Structure 1
Amino acid sequence: MHDVNWIALIVFVLLFAFITWLGFVAANWRKGDLDQLHEWGLGGRRFGTFITWFLIGGDLYTAYTFVAVPALAFGAGAVAFFAVPYTIVAYPILFLVFPRLWYVCRKHGYITAGDFVRGRFGNRWLALAVTITGIVATMPYIALQLVGIQVVIGALGISGTGFTADLPLIIAFVILAAFTYSSGLRAPASIAVVKDILIYITAFTAIIAIPIELGGFGKIFASVPPAKLLLAVPGANTTGAYGAYATLALGSALALFLYPHSITGILSASSGRAIRRNAALLPAYSFMLGLLALFGFFAIAAGVSADPQFAAGFKEFGNNFAVPALFLHSFPSWFVGIAFAAIGIGALVPAAIMSIAAANLYTRNIHREFIKKNPSDRQEARMAKWVSLVVKAGALVFILFVPTKYAIYLQLLGGIWVIQTLPAVMLGVYTRWFNDWALLVGWAVGTTAGTAMAAAAHLSPTYPLAIGGFTFPGYSALYTVILNLLVVIVLTPVFNALNARRVPKDETAAADYLA
């Protein structure tokens, strides 16, 4: 790689030490009984608009986002900007759907999407499907946060082989595990404020300083190959890159708030009004995401990939090294330390929330449902704490011993899988018309078809759907959730007719979904 950047490393370590302290003292912030799962796993549902904004933002805009979106722009060009419209589309969905979910979950004490599905449709197997989907989709996401830490550790010049190379990552895992266990969701909520301030400082400084250094935006865009500035024009009988771009944006928007960590952040809010306010305020992050994507073009203009100083970094981390190389090229060491700390802390916040969300799912919808029916509050909270450690340990083992590309592939599959819970969760807050067994069959069909499409496309997120001589390359997740929903709509009247005497079990009432 290169020699250790001691100034950057010292700044990085000092900021990491500060957020570690903050993570532990967060246990006493808005103090509650952490031997109750809703206190440990949802912060007591007491986070107002301000904290919820930082928490959900920190939850969704991760270290891997900071690294991967510019890396995609650096390598593939304009297609990376699909991330901007997708987040813009996601927030009206947040505004319309998730306050209703918050109200009913608060009314009935639901902590997870699995709890809601179990109460709404009365089918524990459907709830189990939602639960397993959420856990499996979350695990590679946690691993990718550790990839973000790996990249910045390497960029700081810390290298080696074997245990020595892995030690900084292991230390970061131990810190994450310790403050999550002791403080629950309060830890990432408090740290998210620091993380987002650092990221905004980094982003706005870079968007001003780097173009000045490189001679202005005109020179930057002139240095980017024309093929990367625009989507390729579709050929005959195909929507080409246009269809892929649009379906990636829409499918990603539909899936975003179905991830367990997103739902955990939403359910921790103090009111449905706080969620609606955040739906209006969170697009500020979309603006920042657009700025981050531009960093990929900045890296092209700065010629970092051709700089021998960074050759080893690109060899080890590929295009993911573009942003660290850009910052090392453009800024003094003390600011590099701040920027890298922002990325590193940006990994800990979502990783903590993801592990808590997975632990909540296992504890409520697997352990409590199938293993120990009536645990005490203390037993339930303790189980969740231990499961959160197991989840993080699994992600660490995965990233240490399995090539990074497989974590990326599984994360792409995770998006295809988690969107299959949309009919039960997102549409379930509006209607009970769907038959629960039809929902389960639709989930199975969508999951199987999505996995098959991804395999046929060599684990690419887009699949070339051929219909009547036309080809529509598009996001497999969107295609398969449409198939899922069609199966549910067709099978619901069939299953209802076959079991006409069955009275649907629904713990909720229409008034539970309103303020």
Structure 2
Amino acid sequence: MNTGQWTELGVFVVLFLAVTVLGFIASRWLAGTTLDHLDEWGLGGRKFGSWVTWFLVGGDLYTAYTFVAVPALIFGAGATGFFALPYTVILYPLAFLPLLRLWSVSRMRGYVTPADFVRGRYGSPTLALLIAITGIVATMPYIALQLAGLEAVLRTIGLNGTGLLGHLPLFVAFLILAVYTYQSGLRAPALIAFVKDSLIYLVILVAVIYLPVRFGGWGHIFDTSAAALAKPGPTGSAKGSILLTQNNQLQYATLALGSALALFLYPHSVTGILASRGRNVIKKNMVALPAYSLLLGLLALLGYVALAAGTKPIVNQATGRGDSNTIIPALFGTQFPAWFAGIAFAAIGIGALVPAAIMSIAAANLWTRNIYKEYLRRAATPAQEARQAKLASLVVKFGAVLFIVAIDPQYSIDLQLIGGVVILQTLPAVVIPLYTRWLHRWGLIAGWVVGMAWGIYLLYLIPNPATNHAHFGGSALALGKLSLFGWHPFGSSQMQVYVGILALVANLVVTVVVSALARRSKVFNGTDDTDPGDYHVDESTPNLRPVAAVP
């Protein structure tokens, strides 16, 4: 490590230790009567107001995906990476009304997870189990994406060893995260999110003002990027383009739509919403959260700045290949003074830890409520549930560490997009029943099975020549590879599509067909524990279920 890297490491460590202290202090912030209840440990007492929710949900949704993965994709492929902008624009209008209804029924009935709602709506532990397992599985690669962002920072600072020792700083960081999350629950990432977002806004505003001036303005940056992307990549064709091409326009559109539909299906997104105090808090946040999309757009442009600056990815000593996730950290490290680069690295690192904490809590809630209590210990007390959730959050965190140690994707954003294919299969069971019970539980189960099986099969077909992966190399498939019982409806077309949308369509078709047959045959559709009025309650509703109530 050189002198500058020591300075960067020093600033990074100081800020990291500061948020660690905040993580432990958080257990006494907005404290309830006890943390031995999932309402308190896993949902922060369901009392977060507008500002806390804005920072919490923003810190939850705009993650290392935003700060590392999107600019890295734009650096490597060009315009395709900007799909993240339209998806965050259409996301909030799509999610606005369903989230209000989900908050209300969950607040009235004491639901902690989306699977709790499905269990109550259909009286089906099997369907709830499938939703819970799906949420946990989809969350793991998303947590791994946060780890990829943190490791990119550590490599840039100079902590870039080989083998397991090369991952040691990552293990240490997540050990600290695990301890204060275990103690403080959701309050820890909620409090730290204030620091994380303040640092991110500071760093990005400085970067988008200073760097374009340094490299001749945006016109020169775009021209240089276009020339760099036109050069041949590993497959012999152009690496990308600053404009969409005929082959990736459909991919762009389906990625944007699929990602928008998927984001608030993730357990961690629902956790941030259910922790809100009331419907007005959610309404204000659906209006204010698009401000983060402006930040995302500015940050995404830094991928082109890195091309203009001639930034090179840092070689991962464990694999011998360049790590595309290091592009933005490397840009900051070479273009800013060491002390400011250290602040930027801390912002990215903390930006990875906050959502990772929320994700592990959400996955732990699913395990505890919908697997442990449902199948292993029905008589579990609230204190036993909370203890089980704390332990499960530790397992999830270290499982994600092992996940990132074992996998080396070309673009870390693929981890999130692959997870999106999985979580999209819960949409028919979680969103549509908020409005109607026409869909039959056996139809929902059949649709989930078909959508999940086909989605995973399509992912299996996708290669990645850059990393010599024959399968699971990404989330976009050429239409020419689609086959229906040997029939190729699109011939040899190279136009690509996001496979999550294809799997969801198959899911919906099967769900509707099987539901129609089951209803025609008058097959019992389970018992609905909810009432129509449950979907409209607010914090001022009389006789509202007390927070942390003992059943």
Q: TM-score, normalised by structure 2?
A: 0.88
Q: Deviations over 1:479-514 (max 9, x none)?
A: 2111111111111121123345x3641111111111
What runs of 5+ residues in structure 1 fail to find an aligned partner? Answer: 235-239
Q: Which residue of 2 aligns with 1:284?
A: 291
Q: Deviations over 1:342-382 (max 9, x none)?
A: 01001110110011001000000000000100211111100
Q: Which residue of 2 aligns with 1:61?
A: 62
Decide whether the 8 Å contact of 1:63 with 1:345 is kept in 2.
no
Q: Which residue of 2 aligns with 1:486?
A: 509
Distance 1:503 1:195, change over 3 A: closer
- 1:474 is paired with a residue of what secondary structure? strand
Equivalent of residue 508 in structure 1, options 530, 533, 537: 530
Q: Structure 1: which 4+ aligned runs deviate by more than 6 Å?
A: 1-4, 311-314
Decide whether the 8 Å contact of 2:325 with 2:411 is kept in 1.
no
1:177-326 to 2 correspondences below 5 Å: 177-225=178-226, 227=230, 228-234=240-246, 240-305=247-312, 316-326=321-331
2: CA distance, partners of 1:345 / 1:156:
15
Equivalent of residue 425 in structure 1, options 407, 422, 430: 430
1: CA distance, partners of 2:347 / 2:46:
27
Q: Deviations over 1:154-210 (max 9, x none)?
A: 111123344543321111011100110000000000001110110111111100010
Given residue 148 of structure 1, which amino acid in structure 2 is its aligned partner? G
Decide whether the 8 Å contact of 1:52 with 1:278 is kept in 2.
yes
What runs of 5+ residues in structure 2 fail to find an aligned partner? Answer: 231-239, 464-471, 481-488, 538-551
Confirm or deny that 1:439 pairs with 2:435.
Answer: no
Decide whether the 8 Å contact of 2:226 with 2:242 is kept in 1.
no
1:28-427 to 2 correspondences below 5 Å: 28-32=28-32, 33-162=34-163, 164-225=165-226, 227=230, 228-234=240-246, 240-305=247-312, 316-403=321-408, 411-427=416-432
Shift of 1:404: 5.0
Shift of 1:285: 0.8
2: CA distance, partners of 1:242 / 1:470:
17
Given residue 437 of structure 1, which amino acid in structure 2 is its aligned partner? W
Q: Which deviates further from its counterpart, 253-262 or 4-13? A: 4-13
Taking only the aligned residue pairs, the percentage that are identical comes to 52
Q: Which deviates further from its counterpart, 86-95 or 73-82? A: 86-95
Q: Deviations over 1:32-76 (max 9, x none)?
A: 210011100000111111111111111111123211111111000
Shift of 1:391: 0.8
1: CA distance, partners of 2:265 / 2:146:
19
1: CA distance, partners of 2:326 / 2:414:
19
Q: Which residue of 2 aligns with 1:448?
A: 453
Distance 1:384 1:59, change over 3 A: same
Question: RMSD across aligned C-alpha pairs, in angstroms?
Answer: 2.0
Decide whether the 8 Å contact of 1:4 with 1:157 is kept in 2.
no
Q: Which deviates further from its counterpart, 150-159 or 458-467? A: 458-467
1: CA distance, partners of 2:159 / 2:297:
30
2: CA distance, partners of 1:79 / 1:2:
36
Decide whether the 8 Å contact of 2:160 with 2:316 is kept in 1.
no
Shift of 1:147: 1.3
Given residue 69 of structure 1, which amino acid in structure 2 is its aligned partner? V
2: CA distance, partners of 1:407 / 1:229:
20
2: CA distance, partners of 1:409 / 1:95:
27
Q: Which residue of 2 aligns with 1:495?
A: 518
2: CA distance, partners of 1:420 / 1:399:
24
Shift of 1:2: 6.3
Distance 1:41 1:469, change over 3 A: same
Distance 1:494 1:346, change over 3 A: same
Q: Which residue of 1 aligns with 2:476?
A: 462
Instruction: Give the structure with the higher percent helix.
Output: 1
Q: Which residue of 1 aligns with 2:486?
A: none
- 1:129 is paired with a residue of what secondary structure? helix
- 1:305 is paired with a residue of what secondary structure? coil
Decide whether the 8 Å contact of 2:325 with 2:412 is kept in 1.
no
Q: Which residue of 2 aligns with 1:237?
A: none
Given residue 333 of structure 1, which amino acid in structure 2 is its aligned partner? A
1: CA distance, partners of 2:243 / 2:411:
27
Given residue 170 of structure 1, which amino acid in structure 2 is its aligned partner? F
Shift of 1:311: 6.2
**Between Structure 1 and Structure 2, how many residues are aligned?**
506
2: CA distance, partners of 1:113 / 1:342:
31
Decide whether the 8 Å contact of 2:124 with 2:526 is kept in 1.
no
Shift of 1:96: 1.8
Decide whether the 8 Å contact of 2:315 with 2:322 is kept in 1.
no
Shift of 1:322: 1.1
Q: Deviations over 1:210-238 (max 9, x none)?
A: 0111121121112112555543442xxxx
- 2:43 is paired with a residue of what secondary structure? helix
Confirm or deny that 1:15 pairs with 2:29.
Answer: no
Distance 1:503 1:157, change over 3 A: closer
Distance 1:434 1:210, change over 3 A: same
- 1:225 is paired with a residue of what secondary structure? helix
2: CA distance, partners of 1:3 / 1:455:
45
Given residue 62 of structure 1, which amino acid in structure 2 is its aligned partner? T
- 1:463 is paired with a residue of what secondary structure? strand
Shift of 1:10: 1.1
Decide whether the 8 Å contact of 2:440 with 2:525 is kept in 1.
no
2: CA distance, partners of 1:470 / 1:397:
38
Distance 1:439 1:346, change over 3 A: same
1: CA distance, partners of 2:411 / 2:324:
16
Q: TM-score, normalised by structure 1?
A: 0.94
2: CA distance, partners of 1:375 / 1:280:
39
2: CA distance, partners of 1:148 / 1:409:
13
Q: Deviations over 1:114-169 (max 9, x none)?
A: 10000011111111110000000111211221111111111111233445433211
Decide whether the 8 Å contact of 1:296 with 1:323 is kept in 2.
yes
2: CA distance, partners of 1:512 / 1:276:
18
2: CA distance, partners of 1:116 / 1:358:
15
Shift of 1:406: 10
2: CA distance, partners of 1:291 / 1:410:
23
- 1:326 is paired with a residue of what secondary structure? helix
Q: Deviations over 1:367-424 (max 9, x none)?
A: 0000100211111100000110111111122223444569865543321110010011
